[in-house]
Amino acid sequence: MNITSTLQKIASEYPPEMRKGQQKDVARMAFNVEIALEACAGKQPSDLEICDIGGGIGLFSIGCAVLGCKRSVLIDDFDDPVNHELGPSVLNLHRSKGVEVVTLDVIEKGLEGVQGPFDVITAYDTMEHWHNSPKKLFHEAIQLLKPGGAFILSGPNCANLKKRFSGLFGNSKWSSMDGWYETEKFRGHVREPDVSDLLYIGRDLGLKNLRIIGRNWMGYHSRNSVQRSLTRLMDKPLRLRPQLCSNIYLVGIKS
């Protein structure tokens, strides 16, 4: 089953006001699903039990379910504006496709009550939003991994090529003033990692076969047409230097 076409079909089933955003994100989500499915060599999707932390209303968990994974568990506090605007029904599609939805503030309560074990645990583009250390949470996650299971962590690279140049001109803010100052609850980026941060976390968790992957999703999603064009030109060469990419991934295996 083709991952991209599967996600495109799922995106078309989202509520009308959400479809465009999900369709725009298909390429990134397809890559996220691909590396999760490939992380446990030799296992078919039907054998895999996958847990995604902080995936919200996105396509990852629902994609894993539709692609035939044995379990697809989604854990989030579901406290983003879209959850308040659309209410609990925003997750009806996920549940209808077999996703196990768990509402939990993982930084406050950890993985309390989550039933493992899992073949793959992911935390894609979520830890940069957390206001407290994820160390305890990540160690709990490793306890829920099967031996040989994969832990995948990703985030926006605080030291990507664009930010290195932007900093020279005093324009390297992570969040808008309005998003930080005018909203009652700030949900933006608190601390973005770089490659050395991800490797530090992987070593702290005792993972083996640590691998760093670089991609440039932020460039493709930029509102600036020049930046989008430059991303198309530079994407593949930059992948050879993940420390310069806009988005970085850590993949590690539990001993």
C-alpha angle 198-200-206 in degrees, rounded to nearest 5: 105
- At residue 36, the 3 state secondary structure works out as helix
Q: What is the CATH number of the domain that holds 78?
A: 3.40.50.150
Pair 152, 120: CB distance under 8 Å: yes
pLDDT of residue 21: 93
- Segments forming the whole domain that contains residue 65: 3-253
pLDDT at 237 over 70: yes
Q: Is-contact 50 119, C-beta < 8 A?
A: yes
Given a cut of 90, whether residue 68 has pLDDT beyond it is yes
DSSP letters of 128-184? GG-SS--HHHHHHHHHTEEEEEEEEEEEE-TT-HHHHHHHHTT---SS-HIIIIISS
Each residue of 8-36: pLDDT tens digit?
A: 999 999 999 999 999 999 999 999 999 99
Q: Which residues pair with residue 247 across a beta bridge?
A: 156, 215
Residue 132 has pLDDT above 60, yes or no: yes
Tell me how many domains the chain contains: 1
Share of the chain above pLDDT 90, in %: 66
**Is the confidence at residue 110, as pLDDT, over 70?**
yes
Six-digit token string for 203: 């070593």
Percent of the chain having pLDDT more than 70?
Answer: 95
Burial 95-128 (b: 16+ CB within 10 A, else e): eebebbbbebebbeeebeebebebbbbbbbbbbb
Residue 149 has pLDDT above 70, yes or no: yes
Alpha carbon separation from 209 to 62, 132, 150 (Å, rounded): 28, 27, 10
- What is the structure's pLDDT at 89? 85
Structure tokens at 126: 């979520």
For residues 229-241, one letter each, b for 16 or more C-beta atoms within 10 angstroms of the residue's C-beta and e for the rest, the string is ebbeeebeebeee
Interacting residues of 81 by C-beta distance below 8 A, sequence separation 6+: 187
Q: What is the pLDDT of residue 73?
A: 98
Arithmetic mean of pLDDT, 143-147: 97
Q: How far apart are CA 160 and CA 167, in angstroms?
A: 11
Question: For residue range 151-201, what is the model confidence (pLDDT) as tens digits?
Answer: 999 999 987 777 776 655 566 666 777 777 777 777 777 788 899 999 999
More confident residue, 29 or 90: 29
| Distance of alpha carbon 144 from alpha carbon 111, whole angstroms | 9
